[in-house]
Amino acid sequence: MKKIITYGSFDLFHEGHYNLLKRAKALGDKLIVGVTTEQFDIYRGKMNVVDSLMRRLDNVRNSGLADEIIVEDHDGQKIEDIQKHGIDIIVFGSDWTGKADYLNEYCQVVYFERTRDVSSTILRHERLGIVRLGIVGTGRIAERFMHESTFVSGVEVISVYNPRFESAKAFGDLHLLKQDSGEYEKFLENIDAVYIASPHETHYDYTRRTLIVGKHVLCEKPMVLTELEARELYTIASDNKVVLMEAVKTAYAPGFVNLLAIARGGRIGTIYDIEAAFTKLTPYKANTREYDPVVGGSFTELASYSLLPIVKLLGHEYKELEFESFYAPNGCDIYTRAHFRYDNAIATAKTGIGVKVKEACLSQELVVTF
């Protein structure tokens, strides 16, 4: 018996999917179809799959072409499946051409020409539209964001803003984006959302001006420098029914989300103490971004990370908070330890620039189970 396998999200099941399954089935006697889980899709950058896994499984089943349906949830599973099911041929659409050649070692790899002019992405865009994004700032982080955005569906970066037009132009030319000089409000006109990656002290103002005109904001950390500013911005966002998010990517990293799920699930016992540290060796240079005496310093720079596991696991209703810091000659903190006392737990968040916590790790829990 000749066995064929193929994989996909099969979101909003369409003609292209049907054609591929039909041709795949015609290659042998049994067709196995692997459908990706939501988590695996997010991991692959498909952030906006519409149909649930159950629905996608049903749609593949209803095509009447699959003899067996399995779920794909991790990298490397294709090799495991080929071996487990004794697969002879693995089939992909032509968008995969070359990318699955490594599987030739395990079975025959066949690429079929994709059906033209139809894809889940097109259907999703027709239904949901595409988020048109503008970037504020043109530095190293904006550069990295541009690169990452190419792996994320449903989003298109279309313009860039920097009050220094030459910088916006250089960035825009490099990434084929529209540049708007000078006027921030004009830059906001043709976009749905803004990613802010400008210097810390400008975050509040850009965020506020963006939310006020009803556009969503993803702002680099620290989003603001005071609690008052944060409260005001979240109120405006809520009044205007737009999303306001701080770009703390660790909060969404699958590893971190798993860690939280395990800790919250009680599987490792009751958590009495959390220690989290984020330190890095940035050479001291007075008044650079990191060492700015007003808006720099280790805690402003890095605390979003070390506070994350503490706030996520113990909440923000702490009873006491104490800080201890060491300072650079210009007065900015190079090392800070924040000690929290909760009703039934304690926690420490450490941050350092130019000071390194040996064997630092993002989160170490001291767990005692009775």
CB-wise, 10 or 340, nearer to ligand CTP?
10
Per CB under 6 A, the segment of 4-12, 65-73, 237-245, 362-370 that binds ligand CTP is: 4-12
CB-wise, 24 or 263, nearer to ligand CTP?
24
Among 5, 20, 107, 133, binds ligand CTP (CB under 6 A): 20
Among 3, 25, 46, 78, binds ligand CTP (CB under 6 A): 46
Rounded Cα distance between 289 and 247, Å, is 18
Per CB under 6 A, the segment of 13-21, 232-240, 246-254, 287-295 that binds ligand CTP is: 13-21
Phi/psi-derived region of residue 352, left when phi > 0, alpha when psi is between -120 and 50, beta in every other case: beta
Q: Tell me how crowded residue 44 is: count the other CB atoms within 10 A of its CB.
A: 15
* Total residues at interface with ligand CTP (CB under 6 A): 18
Amino acid identity for residue 250 in this structure: T
- From the CB of 6, what's the least distance to ligand CTP, in Å? 6
- From the CB of 55, what's the least distance to ligand CTP, in Å? 13
- From the CB of 32, what's the least distance to ligand CTP, in Å? 14
CB-wise, 97 or 167, nearer to ligand CTP?
97
List the 3-8 sheet strands across, edge first. 68-72, 30-36, 3-8, 89-93, 108-112
Q: If binding is defined by CB under 6 A, does position 134 make contact with ligand CTP?
A: no
- The interface with ligand CTP within residues 73-112 (CB under 6 A) comprises 92-93, 95-96
Among 9, 300, 306, 336, binds ligand CTP (CB under 6 A): 9
- From the CB of 40, what's the least distance to ligand CTP, in Å? 12
Spell out, one character per residue from 229 to 248, where the chain touches ligand CTP: x when CB under 6 A holds, - when not: --------------------
Among 118, 158, 212, 225, binds ligand CTP (CB under 6 A): 118
Among 8, 137, 296, 352, binds ligand CTP (CB under 6 A): 8
Among 4, 5, 17, 157, binds ligand CTP (CB under 6 A): 17
Q: Tell me how crowded residue 194 is: count the other CB atoms within 10 A of its CB.
A: 25
Amino acid identity for residue 25 in this structure: K
- From the CB of 20, what's the least distance to ligand CTP, in Å? 4
Q: If binding is defined by CB under 6 A, does position 145 make contact with ligand CTP?
A: no
- From the CB of 280, what's the least distance to ligand CTP, in Å? 37
Q: Which residues bind ligand CTP (CB under 6 A)?
A: 8-11, 16-17, 20, 46, 92-93, 95-96, 114-115, 118-121
